[in-house]
Structure formats: structure tokens, C-alpha cells
Structure 1
Amino acid sequence: MTPTESSNSEFFTLDIGGMTCASCVSRVEKALDKIPGVEAATVNLATEQARVRIQRGSSSLAEIIALIQKTGYEAKESSTRGNLNQKMTKSFWAADGLGRVILSFLLSAPLFLPMFIMPFGVHWSLSGWWQLALATPVQFILGWRFYKAGYKSLLAGAGNMDLLVALGTSAAYGLSLYILLTSSHAHELYFEGSAVIICMVLLGKWLEARAKQQTSEAIRALQKLWPEHAKVLNTDAALQASVDHYRDLPLDQVLPGDRVLILPGERIPVDGVIILGASHVDESLLTGESEPVKKGLDSKVIGGALNGEGMLVVTAEAVGVESVLSQIIHLVEEAQTQKAPIQKLVDQVSAVFVPTVIVLALITGLGNWLYFDSISIGILRAVSVLVIACPCALGLATPAAIMAGTGIAARFGILIKDPQVLELAHRLNIVAFDKTGTLTIGKPRMLALLPFHESSADIDQILATAAGLQLGSEHPLAKALLDAAKAKELNPIAASSSKGLPGVGIEGIPSAGLFAGQTLRLQSVASLDGSPQYEIILQKAQVCYEQGQTVSVLMGLGSEGSTIPTPIAVIAFGDELKPNAQSAVNALHALHIRTVMLSGDNLAAATRVGKTIGIDEVFAQIMPSNKAEIIQQLQSSSESKKHYVAMVGDGVNDAPALAVADVGMAMSTGTDVAMQAAGITLMRGDPTLVADAIDISKKTWNKIRQNLFWAFAFNTIGIPMAALGFLSPMLAGSAMALSSFCVLSNALLLKRWRPSHT
């Protein structure tokens, strides 16, 4: 069972074996829909998986598996780490293995070689009995899988690709055997047609299996990031003393709270917090970040990342299915298993496709028999119709593109969770950004320190003194001051008699420095309203206010007994723009997409940010509850056409807007609530990923359309040609296998995609 559960529903992911075409998908889905309590079921041909949501307690997993098996397919619960690695190690002689393909061609080669040497004046062929001897093992041993699957589909009351192949090749083989027993003319035998059809279908299946593995390359790369073991330290011993004494435990035995040792060059096995050491960590396969990230004490690390030059000790916080890596894999697998809405049309067509083809083949056979007065011509053309109509390409067109697109996007830190996004992204004409945490850093920073008398004290001394007043405070502005002092490698000057003044600020007496012994107060400008210094302070802070910054003032109250306060410096705070915010907006403008910013800040601050980075429209002083309403207004802002709007955010208050937008994009640096509400998660807090996400979504959608066009065109053109005798059964089999391979190869071209802002 997958990690995702609700109080009333259970989710199961199943590996389905034996599916060969879109008709198989339709049949498995219909069987699942009939199970009592099933709320939703989706089956994906490319991943060979089914996802089932069922009411808790209504039907067991064993009952679901038994029903699928009764329908004629293999089924088992998907393992926690997925089944992709297991598929890679498939036997050489498996149903889709290369061994069967090679053996089938070796046996069939003497049957079709005479056709190739005849143009050179060499007229040679095997006797009919030798042809029978070579064709029989191909037909009934190597081709047994088609009979088995076709028989099961008949029992289930529906047809599939295997049934078409079994019927077509059996007709050609049977006709040849009949002629062999009743005539001595070996040149009228068609054993080579039935044998080569099976060869080409087996080759096509092997190529499909290889292509499916390539489309899932991103997931396999993520799965390989899991180390098999972790070095767990003795939690009872002193940290430094226990570093050289550890137990090498299997990863599934590591528990939250364990202290894990990671040596230089090793993969980090768990999510956790560094408690000893410092290093650079390569998180590129998890976040798409190309440069190693510096990590020190109290820094969070992600399981699967590659440790650099330093030794680290990490306290485990999340392991196994709770880890970020496991959740990423789950999200990508879920996206690849789900269907884009356009696939519903394909499924509807496929549900009636096979029965229709069988009827067309019968009409073709009877028509040609009566017209040419030849049963052999009628059977051969009917066989060609059956073979060329195999709907493999149609069934693989959409899921193959989704797998390739979502896989390559995940490799670069873009998790597309909802395939519907792929159909909407190419229509987007508005992108709305939340400001704080999305376009800005998300936490206040000290942006300016303006002394009133620059000669009276060194600016570094003022900063160290102001930071000393804030030691021990949890206020965001206090942290901003301490961070500013740390960035300049200044030691905050501790203050005595420190006390907080509610609604005003903080007061204390520095123990050292230029202001030693003086009572200082760091307070808001508004708290000085009415004082003699108020106008002077306002004038000094005016430039900061114009830029929408928050302003505090450091006041000197003099030595003990003095009552005349003197302003020392104005200190401005603000939420700094992300370095690439303007590049993100420019990239969207290049795609002809209008940009909008939603902010709860005052109009001056929001407008300043908007103008700086080129935002087209700014909505300021917006309450969190109103963001969803603005998205709806943007969607219906034009009477002539509907506007498609993407929302980009990171906070809990963005979740309603992310959900109501046509495409929701959440920054992974934000809250889990936002990521759950969005269809796309951006694994880095980098706004340029927005344009990249739209770009890969558009390209994936284009591949889906191209694949569906060629799949439908192939069957539309191929069936009439086969019925009129322009395609022999052998050529029809080759063309059918080639069509599936072309669809998959076209989808795999998405692997060449690269973000334009890396």
C-alpha cells in the first residue's frame, strides 16, 4: 500500500503483468470499477501499474488481485521502492526478453531469405515439410504467449492485441498447412508470413520494454540514491568519542533520533540535521541544483544527497517512506501512473477498436474470397488487417510521453504531480506570484543602517551594539540584526539591564564599546510620535519608507540620570528580492505570459517590488482569504476568451489560490499544505523554474499530440491498404512493430530537454 491514506479511503498500487495494448487497459479498469467500494481506478500501459482508491474495509487487496487475475492478467502489490529495478533484471528468455527475439529470427530466417535472394536470380526455397518444421516452434512455442493471453481475453468477453496476432498468424499457418497436405506447390505456402509476424511482434515488444525502461530513467536514478546501509553511532556515548565506533545497519533498521555518521564521498542515508561537522552536499538529483550546497551545524540534509569533503554526523529525522527522496519517487510514479484527460478519449476508442477490427477482417476476407474466387487471398488480406490494426501505438502514445516528460522534469527539480497540467500549461496566459517567499527571500534582512552623525561612531560599532541588545530575542527583526552582524563577522556587544518594552522595542546598557554605560533603546519610529526628534527621524528614514522598508531607530538615552534621548541611527529592514526574480519574470514575458503579483504588503512596498522586476500588475494589501477570489477574477477577466492562470506560492495562505488556479505551482521551500494543493512542485526556491515547468509541460503536450496523430494515422491508412492487398502479412507485422517503436522513440526525445536557466 502506498504511504498516502485518508481516514475513509485506502490507496493501492499494483504491478499488472500481461497487458499488451490499450484494450487491455480498458478491460482491467472495467474489472476494477466493478469491485464493491472502489472509488477510482486508473491503469497505465507504459508503467504496467494500476492505482486503486477504495473505501476502507470494503474489499481487501487479495480480493482485488484475485479479480484481476480472473480477468486474465497477473497482479501483485507494488513494492515500496517500486518495481522498476526488478523489471530491468528480467530474464533473457522472458516473454519480452531478447532471447526469444533472437531465437524466433534464427528459426524464421530460412523461411524469408528466399524472398531476398530471388531478385538476384537465385530461386531456392525449403521444402514444405522443412518450412513446417521451422514455423511450428515459432508459432506454438515462441508465440504461445499470444494464444494464452488471447484465450483469457475471450473468456473475459473482450479482445486485445494478442487475440489479433493469434487469429492472424493461425489463419496464415492453417492455410499453409492445408495447402501442404493437399498440394505439392511449396511456393504457395505462407509459413514465412505467420513466422515473421510473430518475430516482428516479439521484436516490437522487446523494443517497447527497453523504451519503457528508458522513460523511467529518472525514477531509477532516484532509487539508486538509497544507500543499502547506514553507520549508526552509539547514542549513549559522547558525540566526539563515539565517531570511531559505529554499527553498520541496514537502512530499514535506522530509526528517527539515531545519530548517523556520513564519511566524505558517501551518500546521506536519511533526512536529518547536522550535529557535528561541515561539508558541501550535492543535491542535484533531488533538487536540480547544479552547485554543491554548503552545510554546517543545524543545517538540514536530504537522504540520497552526496556528501562532499567533510565528515558529518546527522540526527535522523525521517527514514524510508517518510523521507523526502521516497516522497519524490512516489509523486513522480503517481504522475506517471495517472492519465491525462485526453487519454480518456483514447480509452473510449480502444474499448471498441478490437471488436471492430475483427469484423473488418471478416468482411475483408469474405469480400476478397468472393471477388477473386480465392480463399488464400481472402485469408491473407484478412490476416494483414488483423496484424496491422494492433493498437499498441495508440495505447502507448500518451503514457509514454507523460513518463518521459515527468521523468526528465523531475531530474531538474520540477515535480509534475497532475498530468492534467500537461494539457493546461500550453494555454497559460497569466502567471500570478505570491510575493513573500516566492519572489523574495521570505525573511526580513537588514537592508540599511543610516547613522545620524557618521563621525560620532563607527557603523560596525553601532551594528554590534544594536545586535547585542537583541541577544536572546526571538523577534524576526532581532534575528535579522544578528544575521547582519554575523555576516560582517562582528561579535554582538552584550547589554545589561536589558528589558523589553511592549509596543515600543527593547532597552539595555551595553557592557563595552563606544556606548558602554549608556542606556540605549531600539524602538519603532511610530513609538516616538510626538517627541521633539520625531520629524528629524522621519526625514532621515524617508528614503527607506519610499522603498517600502520597515524602519527602527536606535536611541541613546544618555548616561544614568539623563532624560534627553538622542537618535543614533536609523536601521531599515526588508524582505530582499531573490537574485533571479527578474530573470523569472523576463522568461515568462518571452513566452508572452502576463505576470501578476499578490501581496499583503502596503501599496508602496508591493509596487516597488513589482516595478523592480517588471511585474505587469500588482495587487497589494491583499488578505490571504482573498487570493483565491483574485485568481478567479483573472480567469474571467476577458469576455472574449477564458484566461488560463497559474498561481505560484509557498505558504499555507496560498493553498486555496493554488487549488483554484488552472495550474498551481508550489515552492518546496514552503509548506506541505501548499505542495499538496499544487499540481507542480518546484524543488528549489527558484522562480525561474516556473518558466521551465511551463516549457517542459508544453513540450510534453506536443509529444502527446504528435504521438496520437501518428498512431491514429497509422491505423487509418494501414487498415485500408491491408484490406486492398497492398500490405502482405509480413509487411503488416513489420509496420505494426515499427509504429510502436516510433511512438516510443518520439517520446524519448523529451530526454534531451534542458532548462534554459540552469
Structure 2
Amino acid sequence: MDTITDPSPASVAHALPLTQIDIGVGGMTCASCVARVEKALRKQPGVTDASVNLATESARVMLSAGDAAESLARVKRAVRDAGYEPRNVEAMDAVDEPRVMGVPRDAWPVLIGALLSAPLVVPMVGDLFGLHWMLPAWVQFVLATPVQFVLGARFYRAGWHALKAFTGNMELLVAIGTSAAWALSTWLWWRGEAGEMAHLYYEASAVVITLVLLGKWLEARAKRQTTTAIRALHALRPAHAHLLPDGVRRTELTDVAVDELLPGDVIRVLPGERFAADGTVVQGETQADESMLTGESLPVPKQVGDAVTGGSLNGEGAVDVRVRAIGAQSVLAHIIGLVQDAQAGKAPVQRMVDQVAAVFVPVVLVIALATLVGWWWVGVPMEEALLHAVAVLVIACPCALGLATPAAIMAGTGVAAQHGILIKDAQALEIAHRVDTVALDKTGTLTEGHPRLLGMDVAPGVDEQVVLLSAAALQAQSAHPLARAVMEAAAARGIDVAPDAAMAVQAVSGRGGQGRVNGVPMALGSLRWMEELGAPLGPLQARAQALQEEGATVSVLAHQTPGAGDTAVWSVLALLAFGDEPKAGAAEAIRQLREQGVRLFMVSGDNRGAALAMAARLGLRADQGEVIAEVLPGDKAAVVRQLRLNEAGASVHTVAMVGDGVNDAPALAAADVGMAMSHSQGGSADVAMHAAGITLMRGDPMMVMAALDVSRRTVSKIRQNLFWAFAYNVAGIPLAALGVLSPVVAGAAMALSSVSVVSNALLLKRWKPPRR
């Protein structure tokens, strides 16, 4: 999918075909604003869907087809016509706040409002101590009017746009409420007798506007903290790289912009610098700090042939790196994209909030009108009835409702990314907290994934060197862990495999590989495959059984020989026994998951003997069905679907599948939540990452527990925020209608409501993953 994030026109022109546009939307204040922008965007030609996020102040628009530049312009125009400001997404991520005279620019309206409102509040404070004085009416008018119509102009503009769209928002409520208080005060002053000190309510209008401005400023500061994870990831990418000479075009070391790097370039990374791009070390040794990418706190040794990730911090050694991936293809760009996608999306629970917000403001206006009429009906003076109605309008703000879910999702996905847990979307985050069943792939997930060749048992009359040479020839082009073990064993014995030693080599999924070695058809694979080929083990049968019982993974090397007539038969040459080690944290992770009440299953393609032996070392209970062995890659998805069912065949369990390879991709997609465990960049891990809802950037099984934990804590914060947002309005509106709350108190409560919701979400930033 191509993504446009409001870039320059030149880059837009080359982004066809367009399917997704991300832009910033300035001026939104509440859930009603979100609904209005979404409605305006969805009316545009070619727009199939639009999702607006109040916390990030951004919109994601999906289009079916069309010219990129024209579509972007149309989307921006729709945002502006709805009464909001289209912005560049990158500009909204700026770290530095613009300042005027040392004070943040957006704080000046709050300071000016406070200075003008303070004299109006002083008499109210004096009343608490029995002191009764009042500013002259003309002074109150001079102080309150600039606050009402200059500092409060934003409320009138936004409220007018809402009225034109036949909707309502927070600004409309504040504008109507404070205008009523200001107009009432002006009317009482105008109709009063000369020298009479009428009780005026200018302080209500001025203080309410100042408090709302203060609340929005505090809310904006808090929201900026929820985006620190994205900004920190952007900051990892250095601006320049030291490009080494190629002997043709460049004859000396040259500093170039990172954007100018090409795959195949060789760059030098000095001690203490960040790696400018993904690549492979071609000279030198060092250590890399990858904590911001994977959450791994310890430096990772790097030597010739090791992969390095752009954005990680180089240690004390200078190394030369051959660039492998740049730009959008880099791991850092992939991480940033996943985090942005998760923060831009909406959790399913947000749909309920959107439905409430759509009718919230009209309902509040009706309640305010009923409050005014009701108090006047029972004989209360009109000015007092009007103040009660103003209190209803001011306190009933849908800001907290609009921020409750996205603020928690941004904080949760951000802190998870800082610890190496990448959550693809809000739906995966919300589903993960319900997981009660975890299926884990064995090789590479629970084990190191680097098996060693433990030994060979050859048939009578067969030479071990010939067996190892033939096996290495068949496996030379394979990336399978067992293939690497064969190649390592051959290298250790000094066996050099010629490039053309094996011809017509092909892999047989879930079974092994076959080809022609020195003209002889050969196959290397599982015992099951040998049975299918009709290759009897003969005298090696007992030994194969014994190796399986000991927990070894057994492969068989066979060759094809002439049989009776024109038929050919397969004959076994040798058994190859492989062994793997459990990961350091695997047993502890299984123990902690079990303590949380999670059902556990290990899914393996190995023979049952090897699977049972590893399960015993990991603490899995084979007698309770926690080991599922001899599963072909294509059958793993069916196993995952089966784990959802109870004994009666009803789907009652929520299943997470944890895997690390390309063979696990179907099972990851079939699970309610797929967790891809990334060991290195590129290769099969990328396939698993695309199929999974959650990517674990470290191959540590404890990360599974951490992913479930951060999901549960984030969903808990969402529920807390929604509860307080609804409870605030459920309690506040009746109290204001009954006259218990004055407009000033109502304004303070409204300002604090959204700040409290965002602050509660920010508590997630203190989350730490469970430790061994």
C-alpha cells in the first residue's frame, strides 16, 4: 500500500497509485469535531474511508483511485471547508515549541486572559473573608470584553462552522454560554439606574474562557508527551553518512546526506555515531546499542558478516558497512510505520464513543434550554435561570470522550515500541488483552533455532565424509536452520562444497530437499518423508528410534538406485542427528504465562520424541496435551483454529500464535492475534511480521508475556478514561442544571476533565516489561 504523508508536491507526483493519505488537522477540540471532519472527508469523490484521531490531530484517508496531487488537494480543501486547518504531518511532530519572549507562543492567550480576569475574581475572593467590594461596571466591561471577543474569537469561529454544518461542538457550547453571561451583564448594567451597583456576571464569561484556554493548553502539552515515542524514533536517523570511495567516481571519503545513499554503498561508522542505514559489516568489529529499536539493554557484538540496523548506536569500534536497505525499506522506517498505523487507527470501542458524540451537543443544548425554562417557570429571576443554563453549557464538553481512547492507545503503543513490541493496529491491541490461549512454535521461538549436527550413523559400507559432502551439497542454497547446521559441520571438517556439486535442487515443503549430487538422485529429509518415498531404514531403524527418544531431530540421507526392471528405489545412506537448545528465558516465560491462567501449547514439525524431550526441558506438560508434534507447515493454521474450540466444538478461546519464520505466516494470520518474533532483519522474519498483529523485535520468549501485559494495561486505561469521561458528564450536567455548580466552577471542571484523561493515559509511559 502506498502512503502519502502530506509531502512535497514533487514526491506526491511520483506516488501513484494512491491508496492512503495522512494529513494533520488543526483546530479540533472534541469528539464532535472528529465526527464532522470524518463526515466531510467521506463525501469526497473516491474516498472509501476516513479515520480522524483527536489525540494525534491527524486524519487517515483511504481512496480507491485517482491522481495523488489532486486527491491530496481535495482532502485538504474538505478539511478547510469543514472549519479546520489542514497541516503537514511532519510539522505537527516538531519537538521544539515556538516561543515568544521566552514563553511558549500558545501560552500567551492563557497569560493575557489570566491578567485580565484576575481583577474580576478578586472581589469573589474578598467575599470569602467578609470583604465586600466591586469594581465599577465600566472597568468590568473593559476587562471582560477583550477576553470574550478577542481571546474567545476561536470559539465563535469554530462554533459558526459547526452551525453551518448543522452540528455542534465544544466551542459552540462555550460560545453560547459565555456570550449569554456577557450579554446578561451588559443588559443589567445598561438598564441600571445611575449610581446603582448592579450585580454583574462579567467574571463568569471571562474566567470560563480563560479556564477553557488553560485546559486546552495543558491538554496540548500532555498530548505532545504521548507522541514522544514517534519523535524519538525519528531522531534516531542521522542526517549524514561517511561514504567510502569506490575507486571510480569517488576517490576519497565523502560526507553525504543519508537520503543520497544507495544499496551497495559502503559507509564508515565511527565510534559513538548512529548507523545511517541497514547493512552488513564488511570490515571491523564493534558493539551496537539497539535498545531504542528492540528494547535490548545490553550492547550486541558486531563483526564482519553481521547485520546492523539503521538508527542503532555504534560502540567503541569503527566499522565499514555495506548498505542493504534505505528509506521506506529500512527496519527503522518499518517500525515508525507500524507505530504510526497503530496510533492513527481506532479501537473497536471507539465506535460507541463516536455514536455518543454525534448526538451529545444537541442533547446538551436541549438540556440547557430546559434548565432555563424550568428555573424561570418556578419563579427564579431570569438572570439566575440563565446562569444555571450557562453552567450546563460550559460543563458539558465532549473533549474527554474524544481523548479517552486515542490518548491511551498512543501512550500504550508508544511505550511498547520503546521496549521492542510493535503493535500493528488498535484492534490487535484490544484483542490481545482477551488472549487465554498461546500457541508457540518450537524452533527459533522457544529454542535458539541454531541446531548443531550431533552425529551421523551411516549404513554399512558408506563413508562419513561422502555422506557429509552430499548432504552439504543439497543444503548449500537453503536457509533452513538444519541446513545451516550441516554447512557448519562440513566447514568444521574442512569439506569444501563446489557450487555445481548439486544440480536441480528443490525444497519439498515440510519434508526436506532433493536434487542430483554428482549425477546421483539424492534426498535429505524427515523420517516421515522417507516412509512416503518407500526408503526402508533397515539396520538403522533401531538407532533412529533411540535418537528420537533422546530428543534429537533425525534427518535421513537417501539416494536412488536401480530396482527390478525399469523401476528405481530409494536406499538409506545415513542418519543425521540434530540438537537444539532452549532459549534462556523460555522456561520462565512459560511459567509466568501459566501463572496468569493462560493455556499453553507448543506446536512443532519435529518428531514426537524430539518435541517431548524439549517440552520436558521447558516445563510444558505433555500429559495434558500441551505438545502438538509432527505438524506440517500448512497444517499449523488448522491447529490454531482448532485451539479456539472447546470440547463441545464452540469457539470460546482467544488464541495468540507466536512464530518466527515464513512457515509460521499462515498460522499467525489464522490466530486472533499473531505475534512474530524477529531475530534479524530481512528474510523470512519479514514475512512473519507482515502476517502478525504484533511484532516482537527480540527473540526473547518473555516478550510474549510483556506484549499481553501492555495490552491489558492499555485496555484498562481506556476503560478507566471512558468511565470517568461518562461519569463526569452524567454527574456534572445534572448538578449544573440543579444550580449546584456556578459557571466558573463548571468551567474549571470542564478544563480539568480532558487534562485528567490524558494524564491518566500518560501513566502508561511508566510501564516496564516483566523481568526474569
Provide TM-score, normalisation by structure 1.
0.86
Q: Quick one: which of 401, 417, 421 aligns to 1:414?
A: 421
Q: CA deviation at 1:20?
A: 0.5
Q: Deviations over 1:366-395 (max 9, x none)?
A: 221232341111111111000100111111
- Partner letter of residue 542 of structure 1? A
1:236 corresponds to: 247
Q: Quick one: which of 28, 33, 37 aligns to 1:28?
A: 37
Q: CA deviation at 1:6?
A: 11
Q: Secondary structure at the match of 2:445?
A: coil
Cα distance in 1 for residues equivalent to 2:337 and 2:631: 35
Contact 1:91-1:97 within 8 A present in 2 as well:
no
2:81 corresponds to: 70
1:694 corresponds to: 708
Q: Quick one: which of 615, 637, 643 aligns to 2:646?
A: 637
2:207 corresponds to: 196
- Partner letter of residue 494 of structure 2? P
Matches within 5 A, 1:182-221: 182-183=191-192, 185-186=196-197, 188-221=199-232
Q: CA distance change for structure 1 residues 697 and 618 in 2, over 3 Å: closer, same or farther? A: same
Aligned residue-pair number: 715
1:377 aligns with 2:384: yes
Q: CA RMSD in A?
A: 3.8
Contact 1:482-1:492 within 8 A present in 2 as well:
no
Cα distance in 1 for residues equivalent to 2:198 and 2:236: 59
Contact 1:537-1:570 within 8 A present in 2 as well:
no
Q: CA deviation at 1:273?
A: 1.2
Matches within 5 A, 1:309-348: 309-348=316-355
- Partner letter of residue 344 of structure 1? R
Matches within 5 A, 1:433-452: 433-447=440-454
Matches within 5 A, 1:200-599: 200-236=211-247, 245-447=252-454, 473=476, 479-480=484-485, 483=488, 492=494, 535=539, 539=543, 542-543=546-547, 546-550=550-554, 572-599=577-604
- Partner letter of residue 409 of structure 2? I
- Partner letter of residue 110 of structure 2? V
2:674 corresponds to: 664
Q: CA deviation at 1:148?
A: 1.1
Cα distance in 2 for residues equivalent to 1:161 and 1:727: 19
Q: CA distance change for structure 1 residues 165 and 383 in 2, over 3 Å: closer, same or farther? A: same
Q: CA deviation at 1:78?
A: 2.7
Q: CA distance change for structure 1 residues 87 and 164 in 2, over 3 Å: closer, same or farther? A: farther
Contact 1:92-1:99 within 8 A present in 2 as well:
no
Q: Secondary structure at the match of 1:648?
A: strand
Question: Quick check: 672-681 or 217-226, which moved more?
Answer: 672-681
Matches within 5 A, 1:89-168: 89=98, 97-168=106-177
Q: Secondary structure at the match of 1:671?
A: helix
Q: Secondary structure at the match of 2:397?
A: coil
Cα distance in 1 for residues equivalent to 2:760 and 2:696: 26
Q: Deviations over 1:560-607 (max 9, x none)?
A: xxxxxxxxx996313433222222211210210001122222222222
Q: Quick one: which of 630, 649, 662 aligns to 1:652?
A: 662
Q: Secondary structure at the match of 1:272?
A: strand
Q: CA distance change for structure 1 residues 71 and 238 in 2, over 3 Å: closer, same or farther? A: closer
Cα distance in 2 for residues equivalent to 1:94 and 1:157: 38
Q: CA deviation at 1:421?
A: 2.4
Q: CA distance change for structure 1 residues 506 and 198 in 2, over 3 Å: closer, same or farther? A: same
- Partner letter of residue 582 of structure 2? L
Contact 2:279-2:309 within 8 A present in 1 as well:
yes
Q: Secondary structure at the match of 2:207?
A: helix
- Partner letter of residue 187 of structure 2? Y
2:725 corresponds to: 711
Q: CA distance change for structure 1 residues 542 and 507 in 2, over 3 Å: closer, same or farther? A: farther
Q: Secondary structure at the match of 2:736?
A: helix
Q: CA deviation at 1:551?
A: 6.2
Question: Quick check: 84-93 or 40-49, which moved more?
Answer: 84-93
1:727 aligns with 2:741: yes
- Partner letter of residue 234 of structure 2? Q
Contact 1:270-1:316 within 8 A present in 2 as well:
yes
Q: Deviations over 1:497-517 (max 9, x none)?
A: x97799999999xxxxxxxxx
Q: Deviations over 1:708-738 (max 9, x none)?
A: 0000000000001001110000000000111
2:569 corresponds to: none
Question: Quick check: 695-704 or 371-380, which moved more?
Answer: 371-380
Contact 1:72-1:156 within 8 A present in 2 as well:
no
Q: CA distance change for structure 1 residues 38 and 86 in 2, over 3 Å: closer, same or farther? A: farther
Q: CA deviation at 1:14?
A: 0.9
Contact 1:93-1:99 within 8 A present in 2 as well:
no
Cα distance in 1 for residues equivalent to 2:167 and 2:103: 26
Q: Secondary structure at the match of 2:449?
A: strand
Q: CA distance change for structure 1 residues 624 and 659 in 2, over 3 Å: closer, same or farther? A: same
Q: Deviations over 1:499-537 (max 9, x none)?
A: 7799999999xxxxxxxxxxxxx999999xxx9x97589
Contact 2:98-2:104 within 8 A present in 1 as well:
no
Question: Quick check: 87-96 or 736-745, which moved more?
Answer: 87-96
Cα distance in 2 for residues equivalent to 1:638 and 1:362: 58
Contact 1:92-1:98 within 8 A present in 2 as well:
no
Cα distance in 2 for residues equivalent to 1:523 and 1:650: 23
Q: Secondary structure at the match of 1:197?
A: helix
Q: CA distance change for structure 1 residues 86 and 147 in 2, over 3 Å: closer, same or farther? A: farther
Question: Quick check: 116-125 or 273-282, which moved more?
Answer: 116-125
Matches within 5 A, 1:13-24: 13-24=22-33
Contact 1:9-1:56 within 8 A present in 2 as well:
yes
Q: CA deviation at 1:686?
A: 1.7
Cα distance in 1 for residues equivalent to 2:175 and 2:540: 93
Question: Quick check: 649-658 or 263-272, which moved more?
Answer: 649-658
Q: CA deviation at 1:689?
A: 0.7
Q: CA deviation at 1:216?
A: 1.2
Cα distance in 2 for residues equivalent to 1:495 and 1:668: 30
